[in-house]
Amino acid sequence: MQIFDRSSIRQTSSTSRTSRTSSSSGASDASRTSGLAESFPLLAGAAVGIGGVGAALALADVDSPLRAPFTLFFLFAAPAAALAGALPRLDALTRTVVAVIGAGALNLLVAQAMLATHVWSVRGGVLAVGMLSAAPLLTTLARGPYGPGARGGHHRQGG
């Protein structure tokens, strides 16, 4: 019976990880990255479609097995996309975390406000989250990619 201590196990596992990582080629990493970049518009379009169908099913009060999952997707994806678009200077991971947490907070605040005022309904909740998500998204689109005043072309010449 052999007894191993933790340091020898860690050293062995890190050595095997290093050998596996060094054996992979840079070309395959580049092709995976470009493949993901090429499929991003397709994934974004599918997400918008699923969210739109979810909102439409909820607002039209259609009985469908897809209504609950698609509406739930809309309730998290719409505010998360709006918040992520409003935070362009953050790195991708930070922006994703802030957007998802902000989407959850927005959903909770809408539900709390509607329950406190005794006006809760599924349609009203979806409509409120959609409108509150559209506000920062439209502001971001109006501002443009480089901030206010970047589109105007009013650049001062030195002198």
> pTM for the whole thing?
0.67
Give residue-wise pLDDT tens across range 73-129: 999 999 999 998 888 889 999 999 999 999 999 999 999 999 999 999 999 999 999
Alpha-carbon distance values, 153 to 46, 143, 148, 156 (Å): 36, 14, 11, 9
Least confident of 84-88, 135-139, 153-157: 153-157
Where are the domains positioned within the chain?
34-143
Residue 118 CA to residue 102 CA, distance in Å, equals 24
- Dig out the tokens for 102 from the structure: 């902000």
